[in-house]
Homo-oligomer: A and B are copies of this chain.
């Protein structure tokens, strides 16, 4: 009966010396992977159920294992289970506790199983859970953005390119741009889920087993759609984990872009966005500040997620087949990235719900910076002027208007006509942000009828 702190290590019999303290401290993953206890126990119960069905354990043994594992799960959930880092990882911690409680029944649990396929299984179950969670969080943020668009109907804002005002748009169109990005993010998570949802259990250490196990049965019990077809690949690869982490990274970068815009919009110079005080902080020394800290943190944390992706990809690179202990480090990276991106999605949705745009500031900016120049060039195209000539004419008109410090709509018709005889007084129905936005016609455009269509489509999809 194990009664010392190293008893959890399964390989004790083989090695003639006790592990050095440093070996234990450097090698243990329990302080990280204890989070997998639910997955580990669910996997073990499915495995034991199958072992019973193929005759490798008895009914009584299955009962003892099932009850023992359920009790351990409850204790861990309640915080009463005592972990010992010398047990290395959650898998050995649980199994050791089970053996202490059930004796030989517990000693049979690991039949036809290795830590290699057990780890791979737990990781897949965790990835599946977190993918589903990401999908829900992405949808929630999309809904928050759509609601925000609805709350700001008719609000105008400049579209920026090169951080210069380019064309006027309706704020709703700006917000839907993020809804679209998030939609691709969700699509990627959904695609990753198909590759995640493949059961590695039964691959054993690397080559499978000579025992008559039923992999289809455990896969079914655990809700998997498919079974990993190669035992070697099943225990040695982390590409689906990397894919999940990439999905997290792209989502984090989208949030970083959204945060960057929010930080700009909340600055005194833009003055577009007012975030509720409950979602701001101030300064320890400068009491007047209302800082968009949450957005800055979101932007900063996205870099850490990118770093975690690099960590995992760098770890995989150049590893010989099959399992190498390097892979143990995957979990620290995955857990951190999933936590960060999950939290960031929640925070983003909260900020969206607790902030508002200042329609006066955004509207005024939308009309500035000659953002109707493109529409004027298109007006000239409608009058038969080749686009490149129209572009040149408008360029000169803008330069002239800028010299006079006037918007295009304030230029006298005579001056406009002098630049291009095709210009007529109907030109004033084409100038100014309100006119421009109302005239957008192309599918997907940032205002007018095309925007109404986009909003309707998203309301339907997200209702």
Contact = CB atoms under 8 A, between A and B. Distances in A.
A58 to B, nearest CB: 11
Task: Decide if the interface of chain A is mainly helix, strand, loop or mixed.
Answer: helix
Contacts of A264: 163, 264, 269, 320
A14 B290 contact: yes
B286 A233 contact: no
Nearest to A396: B13
Contacts of A311: 303-308
A174 B232 contact: yes
A355 interface: no
A236 interface: yes
Interface in A35-84: 56
B13 A287 contact: yes
Given A282-B15, A441-B211, A22 B350 contact: yes
Contacts of A165: 268
Interface string A161-183: 11111111100011011111100
Interface string A76-119: 00000000000000001000000100001011111111111000
Nearest to A442: B208
Contacts of A120: none
B162 A373 contact: no
A443 B325 contact: no
A23 B281 contact: yes
B166 A207 contact: yes
A285 B377 contact: yes
Contacts of A450: 208
Contacts of A328: 297, 300
Interface in A132-162: 159-162
15 contacts: A10-B391, A11-B395, A17-B277, A19-B279, A108-B386, A159-B207, A160-B267, A167-B286, A173-B232, A174-B321, A246-B246, A257-B320, A287-B398, A291-B325, A306-B311
A280 interface: yes
B284 A15 contact: no
A107 B286 contact: no
A180 B239 CA distance: 11
A231 B170 CA distance: 12
A371 B210 CA distance: 13
B240 A184 contact: yes
Interface stretch (A212-220, A409-417, A420-428): A212-220
A307 B322 contact: no
A280 to B, nearest CB: 6
A208 B318 contact: no
B207 A284 contact: no
A130 interface: no
Contact of A211 (B207, B243, B284, B382): B382
A457 B18 CA distance: 37
A436 interface: yes
Nearest to A272: B269
A193 to B, nearest CB: 11
Nearest to A109: B387
A17 to B, nearest CB: 4
Contacts of A396: 13-14
